Structure 1
Amino acid sequence: MSNIQKKTDVILIGAGIMSATLGTLLKELAPDWEIKVFEKLPVAGNESSNEWNNAGTGHAALCELNYTPEKSDGSVDITKAIKINEQFHLSKQFWSYLVKRNLIRNPKDFIMPIPHMSFVQGEKNVAFLKKRFEALSNIPLFEGMEFSDDPATLQEWFPLIMEGRTVNEPIAATKIDSGTDVNFGALTRMLFEHLQKQHVEIHYKHHVKDITRASDGSWSVKVHDLDSGQIETHTAKFVFIGAGGGSLPLLQKTGIPEAKHIGGFPVSGLFMVCKNPDVIAKHHAKVYGKAKVGAPPMSVPHLDTRYIENQKTLLFGPFAGFSPKFLKTGSYFDLIRSVKPDNVLTMLAAGVKEMALTKYLIQQVLLSNEQRMEELREFIPTANSADWDIVVAGQRVQVIKDTKEGGKGTLQFGTEVVTAADGSVAALLGASPGASTVVHVMLEVLEKCFPQQMNEWRRKITEMIPSYGVSLADNPQLLQEIQKSTEQTLGLVEKELVYS
């Protein structure tokens, strides 16, 4: 095997939605920069970004109850909900800009309008949902949200969920029609097709083996060409690690101080997918319930209308599981290899703290198909086993780190950017809301890693993303203008819904 050495300006590791978005932003802001992408798989967007490996929800906190926790005084904290909603608006604005400029086309191939609903059962949960609705409905970002505890109204909202249901306890739901279904796999492929036209070098079937600091401060990336067997060394001033679950091991290889005391806990998932067209036709919404005690936020049960390859389908889940792999295509040794002298105490502390999570995952792994069907029947009382198959979803690696609030070994539920002090390397870790807030996250990367260029780039960023640096919650007029523009450009203008 010969060793090939090449230089470039930017290296992106992983051909998922994160690298695709960062590459697209950089090509708009610094078109002369040379960019190379390395991806272990033969195609783009085939791990976490793949449409079968995530829920496809445009996360805007419209229906996800875990983004609005109940405080000790009984009130509902909507801080995170507002933040995530504003961040999803950034994504829609950037996608709208790309469509207007004909840099990507046919937005219906990656985003579709779909009502977002929350559904709860039991007196306590109904009281919580009503408080949540009252807290959110006066915020312009959540305009149009409705609440009902009337079974007749719920029958109109989600007939499949109400069909054959015996109502012997209070039930309620909220509905908002401005929700979306997003095919992040399709969007990722579109963005990489665009980047290829912009002369970005995309190297598939290239596995990054190591990342080391060169004497001049740049980064040397050791890459294995899986077809030829050659080992290549590529150097760049800036490296972004957007390899999904594979990001943590690569970040650890950099040796930067910011990577220390960080661990990862992998959680796998399954979805049930409906194969009966008559059942699929009866439902038109994303309906989220409440997570079970001890369950991670990514395991909130939901019944989703999805559009995959322009076909309407119906998924339920996810059912959590455990695999030591950090990627679906990873190694069973990923977890053990990620334990280092600097994070071993952090990992052990998390193990002690998260006994409820461990118990929950064991219970989920041991579920039979009939037990999964029983959970589905909490949403669809008339569900028939013959109408549903199982799909293995993607791996998610939850970040574990020491925090001031949670102490040593705190499990983090969210998306985090880790950067070197000089901004020369950045890595994206974590899970939900992930892809939905991709533009916000990549803007954070730009701010942390290219502070000297940001003044020069700010005007262009604002052209692409008009609400950049502005709170939409505090600027309802700008919100209204942006919503009208993005909905028209992306084909999200509300239409009258017809239920079969």
Structure 2
Amino acid sequence: MKNELYDALLVGSGTMSTTLATLLNELDPTLRIAMIEGLDDVAQESTSGWNNAGTGHAAYCELNYTPQNDKGEVDISKALDINAAFELSLQLWSHLVRTGSLPEPAQFINSTPHCSFVWGEKNVAFLRDRYHQMSTHHLFEGMEYSEDPQVVERWMPLIMNGRDPQEPVAATRMSRGTDIDFGALTRAMVNSLKRSPAFRLILGTRVQDLKQDDNGLWQVGVRNTATAETLNLTSRFVFLGAGGGTLPLLQKSAIEEASGYGGFPVSGQWLICKDPKTIAAHSAKVYGKPALGAPPMSVPHLDTRVIDGEKALLFGPFAGFTTKFLKQGSVLDMPNSIRPGNLRPLITVGLKNMDLTRYLIKETLQSHHSRMESLRQYLPQANDQQWSLADAGQRVQVIKRDSKGNGSLEFGTEMIASKDGSLAALLGASPGASIAVKAMLDVLARCFSRQMQLDSWKERLQVMLPSYGISLIDDAEHLQQVRPLSLTTLGLAKATPQAINPVSQSVYAHPELPLAPANDTSAVSPTPDECPRSQA
């Protein structure tokens, strides 16, 4: 059995782990990084283009990010946070394109308008209020709104074709929306990482044991699924970014911060269009309001996609109930995750969410005809023969213990880190890959706090992310400086004289600032007896 030492070991090869590996490699190319993936290729679970919405969640169209409070008022605070986080992702991808680490942007990101569509007077009133609040904020500048059926028809002709002309409708449209093939993006990022001698990708291998030794180092036992060969890896820092597989690994770590956490798995399915004419006739992502009792990840949308270079049209996702934590997982995943520390939270969440469970089971038992009836609410002329059902990705929602020892069901993402900062894990699903950069910056702040204070790291972060440390929610002027360059570099907007402004020219004129030399220990990896712990 071999023993190899790494500065960072990342479990899972999806967008989250790959983004963290990319940030670390950009900040310090001498850091020794290993990525462990249980499948035979990267980005095959939730990151795969067929397993997620690919919306590039910017909160332009997703109505579940702008809920109404008890007074009926629309709250856009979550939408602001998500949009600002998505801008950071655009900035990193833009930087990687400029430096040649990512290929031609059209291979992974394409302009696709983001639209919201509702019908009925009550829903129209909601969307009108939402538009008025969002359109006055600089992050959502450019959002369009209409209750005119002819205008809505220009935006989404198939949706208006065959609809009752007397029915009140309303729609918003954001032309700078995107479609993202996160599978293609992640594979390209991994291919770039593989060019670094300090990076190692280990496929077809699963983590068996995870234990911290007396020196604070993590001893990680892994096993090749094909050959049964075992390997022992030692790492100063471990990141668990295995999607639905994260919770069992977090429990293996035995850190006290993991106590009380559980997982509630939700499966998904798409209706996929097989008719080329229908696919060609729709070019937008159109989101509606979720059905009563539906979980947030089941917000219905008619979704133009470009996956592996081919245009596709999907509708869904239809939720379902399963005990698997991964699409290629086991039905024993959920039962095996039960521990004394999370038993009460699991039971209380189950009792409080019986309606949700019944809803998911009902969704699972739907016929093709009933699913098509759901589609026809958005596409009145939909033909049953032109659509087929396919499995989408698996999502595991977070169950956490509250102050009373009971459980609460969370539908966002949550980062958990050990007290010493030597291990971090990401649980949850939405908004997921779209905010990967913001999520991984949070990991760096918690687990590499000493290095994040170094001038060399700060300079590199400013090059990669021009708005790092600046609130795009509050600073409209800075947004106008950084957004045009991101959009132009990624092929999402035509170049304009304002795309590069005098303030940012000095930064972008030097895409490769020099790093500290390898023997400068103040700016590179920790010494052998030092973990990348959080320091006050």
TM range (shorter): over 0.9
Which stretch of structure 1 is more off in the superposition, 89-98 or 358-367? 358-367
CA distance in 1, matches of 2:408, 2:419: 23
CA distance in 2, matches of 1:71, 1:123: 19
2:354 matched to 1:355? yes
Asked whether the equivalents of residues 11 and 238 of structure 1 are also in contact (C-alpha less than 8 Å), the reply is yes
Of residues 166, 182, 188, the one that matches 2:164 is 166
Match of 1:106 in 2: 104
CA distance in 1, matches of 2:459, 2:48: 33
TM-score scaled by length of structure 1: 0.97
Match of 2:209 in 1: 210
| Shift of residue 153, structure 1, vs aligned partner | 1.1
Asked whether the equivalents of residues 296 and 411 of structure 2 are also in contact (C-alpha less than 8 Å), the reply is yes
Of residues 27, 34, 37, the one that matches 1:29 is 27
CA distance in 1, matches of 2:106, 2:390: 24
Q: Which amino acid aligns with 1:351?
A: G
Asked whether the equivalents of residues 118 and 289 of structure 2 are also in contact (C-alpha less than 8 Å), the reply is yes
The superposition leaves residues 444-483 of structure 1 with CA deviations (integer Å, 9 ceiling, x where unpaired) of: 0000001111111222111110111211122212111211
| Shift of residue 48, structure 1, vs aligned partner | 0.6
| Shift of residue 407, structure 1, vs aligned partner | 7.6
2:474 matched to 1:469? no
Aligned with 1:120: secondary structure?
A: strand
The superposition leaves residues 15-53 of structure 1 with CA deviations (integer Å, 9 ceiling, x where unpaired) of: 111111100100111211111111110100000100000
Task: Give 4+ residue runs of structure 1 displaced > 6 Å after superposition.
Answer: none
Asked whether the equivalents of residues 488 and 494 of structure 2 are also in contact (C-alpha less than 8 Å), the reply is no
Match of 1:227 in 2: 226
Q: How does 1:173-322 map onto structure 2 within 5 Å?
A: 173-199=171-197, 200-322=199-321
CA distance in 1, matches of 2:372, 2:169: 21
| Shift of residue 105, structure 1, vs aligned partner | 1.4
| Shift of residue 168, structure 1, vs aligned partner | 3.8
Match of 1:95 in 2: 93
Q: How does 1:152-163 map onto structure 2 within 5 Å?
A: 152-163=150-161
Asked whether the equivalents of residues 241 and 426 of structure 1 are also in contact (C-alpha less than 8 Å), the reply is yes
Q: How does 1:39-78 map onto structure 2 within 5 Å?
A: 39-78=37-76
Change (3 A) 1:306 1:407: farther
Change (3 A) 1:284 1:407: farther
CA distance in 1, matches of 2:405, 2:421: 27
Asked whether the equivalents of residues 223 and 231 of structure 2 are also in contact (C-alpha less than 8 Å), the reply is yes
Aligned with 1:473: secondary structure?
A: coil
Of residues 421, 427, 438, the one that matches 2:425 is 427
Match of 1:370 in 2: 369
CA distance in 2, matches of 1:322, 1:71: 29
Runs (5+) with no aligned partner, structure 1: 496-500
Q: How many residues align?
A: 492
CA distance in 2, matches of 1:314, 1:301: 13
Asked whether the equivalents of residues 177 and 494 of structure 1 are also in contact (C-alpha less than 8 Å), the reply is no
Asked whether the equivalents of residues 269 and 392 of structure 1 are also in contact (C-alpha less than 8 Å), the reply is yes
Aligned with 2:486: secondary structure?
A: helix
Q: Which amino acid aligns with 1:27?
A: N
Asked whether the equivalents of residues 11 and 240 of structure 1 are also in contact (C-alpha less than 8 Å), the reply is yes
CA distance in 2, matches of 1:292, 1:227: 44
Asked whether the equivalents of residues 113 and 494 of structure 1 are also in contact (C-alpha less than 8 Å), the reply is no
Match of 1:323 in 2: 322
Q: Which amino acid aligns with 1:453?
A: Q
2:465 matched to 1:489? no
Change (3 A) 1:113 1:403: farther
CA distance in 2, matches of 1:213, 1:462: 34
The superposition leaves residues 313-333 of structure 1 with CA deviations (integer Å, 9 ceiling, x where unpaired) of: 110000001111100111110
The superposition leaves residues 382-432 of structure 1 with CA deviations (integer Å, 9 ceiling, x where unpaired) of: 00011111110111000001246x982111011111100110000111001
CA distance in 1, matches of 2:196, 2:402: 41
Aligned with 1:197: secondary structure?
A: coil
Asked whether the equivalents of residues 345 and 405 of structure 2 are also in contact (C-alpha less than 8 Å), the reply is no
Match of 2:130 in 1: 132
Aligned with 2:30: secondary structure?
A: coil
Asked whether the equivalents of residues 178 and 494 of structure 1 are also in contact (C-alpha less than 8 Å), the reply is no
CA distance in 2, matches of 1:96, 1:466: 11
User: How many percent identity over aligned positions?
Assistant: 51
The superposition leaves residues 235-290 of structure 1 with CA deviations (integer Å, 9 ceiling, x where unpaired) of: 10000011110000000000001100000000000001111111111111000000
Match of 2:509 in 1: none
CA distance in 1, matches of 2:375, 2:402: 37
| Shift of residue 145, structure 1, vs aligned partner | 0.7
CA distance in 2, matches of 1:124, 1:494: 38
CA distance in 2, matches of 1:88, 1:378: 30
| Shift of residue 134, structure 1, vs aligned partner | 0.4
CA distance in 1, matches of 2:235, 2:345: 32
2:391 matched to 1:389? no
Match of 1:498 in 2: none
Match of 2:520 in 1: none
Q: Which amino acid aligns with 1:279?
A: T
What's the Cα RMSD here? 1.2
Match of 1:12 in 2: 10
